[in-house]
A and B are shown apart, each in its own frame.
Chain A
Amino acid sequence: MIFYIPQDTTALALGSEAVARALQTAGIEPIRNGSRGLFWLEPLLEVATDQGRIAFGPVSAKDIPSIIDALESDPTSHALYQGEVADIPYLKSQQRLTYARAGLGDPVCLDNYQTLNGFKGLVKALQMTGQQIVDQVKDSGLRGRGGAAFPAGIKWQTVHDAGTSAAADKEPCQKYIVCNADEGDSGTFADRLVMEADPYQLIEGMVIAGLAVGANQGYIYLRSEYPVAHKLLNTAIDRAVQANFLGENIQGSGKTFHLEVRLGAGAYICGEETSLLESLEGKRGMVRAKPPLPAIEGLFGMPTVVNNVLTLAAISSILEQGAANYQNFGMGRSRGTLAIQLAGNIKRGGLIELAFGVTLREVLEDYGQGTYSGRPIRAIQVGGPLGAFMPESQWDTPMDYEAFAAIKAMIGHGGIVVFDDTVDMAAQARFAMEFCVVESCGKCTPCRIGSVRGVEVIDRIVANENRDNNLILLHELCDTMEFGSLCAMGGMTPYPVRSALKYFPEDFLLQEAAGALLQEAAGASLQDTAGAASQKTAAQGEN
């Protein structure tokens, strides 16, 4: 029997190290695998037996003796027995491409990766021209998974073509592949899971990107909040260099690609690509104006592909299984699979990889099974701190970039944060502004100063100071931020604020006023809110 106990951040945070020690005490040396992403079952102990690979979870160190006993007699009798891992409905119903390997074995074991079809995409890519690789990516329909959903193939084509027209016969110019691993959105952990459970997939994707556009240097810009991913990535890179999947003359092809992890320093804004590039250059993470696009003038002024971890990770399966296979998943212009991250106050949180098109309600109810607290779900925030709060009336929206954009919401990086009915939406709107105060790079006045004023105005509204005028002011402030900021930090902070106001107006009023407003339709706009508030004030005046 082979025992597996994960070494990813969540499993460790829930005590998997103690479980591993308990196994060692019992004379068992477990394989430290990555997580499957079924975080509600972590630490998830898996045992490869004659009857298949079975699971127990969530386990703690004290459960180990009874599990070992049960394995000798009847495993199914154990209270924590979860059956065959692959048959757990939460996992079985997923469409895993990027996470197909997650949790199967030791994430930094190269043999394991290669046994599971690893580096097959790279081997194919080494036989192709750059343009052929770019064409494959275009055909796959892959769009950037960081949030902006820009078609990856178009970006690659721009970098591929950059610096070649005027000086076709001269030395090719230096180009870079930069992986954005600054996964700062609350409610997201998809990048982390790739890096901790299947780091070679990201490395493979980056090498392929280098071959496609003619870049020989890559950087993974990793946030400092991910110490486990940092360690695993560095180990994986060292081993990939030793096995000649990185470095000079990769697998005898004559092609070169060097890769280095660079650590961020706790700035959310560095997840924005131009700010990230500034940071990589050793500067303050100040957002750059576009144009020039990073694809033309990126890192150190040279043509640069900046892609999210998931985008680059998807490349290896696209090359391995073909663009058509990837393209077959999804709906409309959103092709392939989406890594949905179910988080916050949820009973069964975790990573859910599905084709685009699944509705929020299916995710919340079928997978999530309601809140952790057992109370009703009141609001969900999709797409991180800059994403809109969505009331129940919107939960039938399919997970599709365009469908979300149509209702002023965004899928972003695919994180869903669930709140139960104890949430104070005015406090959440205030927090959105507060977060912008802390994390704004300061370049644009609407973002830098507007967020400070936003906190103040929300405080006044909640304190019932001149509420009508302050609601109008907040609305105008949101306009200024949205249209007067260079990047999404200032431009989208209004999304959570406005959606909180629009769908949960009762939270912004004194208790007695809220009672009257609860009668109002849930879809009341901000202007309606201001109007209702003024009616209420007028009524109070008459009394």
Chain B
Amino acid sequence: MGISQNEQQSISDLVGQYKALPGALLPLLHAIQADVGYVPDTAVPIIAKGLNLSRAEVHGVISFYHDFKTTPVGRHTVQICRAEACQSMGSRQLETHAKQALGVDYGETTADGAITLEPVYCLGNCACSPSMRINDDIFARVDADRFDQLISDLSSEEGVVK
């Protein structure tokens, strides 16, 4: 996966910035993902060298955690809670609806590159289920209509930005 010279440079900078921190790898990976949008394969050798780890160790950590992505994701991440409290309030129906409405399965991104759909196991909003998260905002009592509304709000916000 090709990344730009700039991204390569900012990854190197971040490695330099974090490497003295005890237990630096997770904070560093979060920082890279926040900056680049994902953790590109080309980052692995740079991280390994900077943190004095093997490439296998770095790869092992990236692949262990659900949060870290190794390919580009959509401009927005939409997470549907799959945990028990949300199930008791109809999240199974909600996830079916979400997949249909967006035309993607979990882990996939819509064709226009706008939205990546993901499962999440608990957003800690269990008294007002079902819950979903769009980027850093959490929404409660989401049914199919509310889902459609939130997604259409997202599209119109994007329209304004453009």
A residues within 8 Å of B by Cβ? 9-10, 12-14, 39-40, 42, 183-189, 192, 224-228, 262-268, 279-285, 300, 341-346, 349-350, 372, 381, 385, 415, 417-420, 423, 428, 431, 435, 438-439, 441
Contacts and interface: CB of A to CB of B under 8 A. Distances in A.
A343 B138 contact: no
Given A9-B138, A40-B127, 13 more contacts: A225-B124, A265-B29, A265-B30, A279-B26, A300-B22, A300-B23, A341-B126, A344-B84, A349-B127, A349-B128, A385-B83, A419-B88, A439-B121
Interface of B: 22-27, 29-30, 51, 57, 60-61, 64-68, 83-89, 120-129, 131, 133, 136-141
Contacts of A285: 64-65
B64 A372 contact: no
B84 A187 contact: yes
Main secondary structure of the interface of A (DSSP, over half): mixed
B140 A266 contact: no
A156 B26 CA distance: 28
Contacts, number: 148
A192 B124 contact: yes
Nearest to B129: A344
Contacts of A40: 127-128
A114 B29 CA distance: 37
A414 to B, nearest CB: 12
Contacts of B66: 265-267
A263 B27 contact: yes
B67 A186 contact: no
Given A12-B137, A285-B64, A419-B88, A343 B30 contact: no
B26 A186 contact: no
Contact of A10 (B64, B128, B133): B128
B140 A186 contact: no
A13 B138 contact: yes
A40 B129 CA distance: 11
Closest 5 CB pairs of A and B: A349-B127, A282-B25, A186-B83, A343-B126, A265-B65
Contact of A282 (B23, B127, B140): B23
Contacts of A268: 121
Contacts of A186: 83-86, 121-122, 126
A349 B121 CA distance: 19
Contact of B122 (A184, A281, A419, A438): A184
B139 A13 contact: yes
Contacts of B126: 186-189, 341, 343-344, 349, 415, 417
A225 B123 contact: yes
A418 B88 contact: yes
Contacts of A283: 25, 57, 61
Contact of B85 (A227, A282, A343): A343
B103 to A, nearest CB: 24
Contacts of A418: 88
Nearest to A346: B127
B49 to A, nearest CB: 15
A418 B139 CA distance: 20
A91 B71 CA distance: 48
Contacts of A184: 121-122
Contacts of B124: 9, 183, 188-189, 192, 225-226
Given A225-B120, A265-B67, A39 B127 contact: yes
A51 to B, nearest CB: 29
Contacts of B133: 225
Given A186-B122, A225-B120, A281 B23 contact: yes
Nearest to B27: A262
A431 B64 contact: no
Contacts of B138: 9, 12-13, 227-228
A282 B137 CA distance: 27
Nearest to B133: A225
Nearest to A349: B127
B23 A262 contact: yes
B26 A262 contact: yes
